[in-house]
Structure 1
Amino acid sequence: MEELLELLDAAWDDETGFLGKLRSGQFDPAAGEAYVSLLSRIPEPGEMIDSRLVQLIWFAPLFMEWQTERAAESEEESRQLTRIATQVQEAIEGILGVP
């Protein structure tokens, strides 16, 4: 689990991470797909969920939505980012559940 948390943390890195680069207005569709794939590696939680895991993933879908207009340079990129954001949201719902 520690390696997975490190990879999720790296996704927020300003220079190399998918979410970090998105914060800077750089959308990388391949890195987005890799991030969705990374989320699929998170095991189903038991009764207790590591708080660091929640910190690293819960905000991502909302953050991606906020960055779409700023980071997408074309209508096609906007569609791609919206699609990836939806996949991220669905993956996180699958991990954390919905109320």
Structure 2
Amino acid sequence: MTRKRNRHSADQIVKKLRDADAMLAAGKSVGEVLQALEISEPTLSRWRAQYGGMKKEEAKRLKQLEDENQRLKKLVAEQALDIQMLKEITRGN
């Protein structure tokens, strides 16, 4: 059975991490927590590594910075292609 991939916002991730910690502290098993949150164990581990201990505002800022970084990388790649094309054009003349 394939599931539609869910994208979570930074706020949702921080909330789910808090909920997971609360459920585990209340004595629920990891399997029960994963099922209740509808996520996989690797997802929980990845979220803990990336967002563990963050507040909602910090997680939101991190996500904004990651998006900005992605945009800038794309811009640099496009400029590198433009430079390469210009070099090939001038080499042909």
TM-score (norm 2): 0.29
Q: Which has the larger radius of gyration?
A: 2
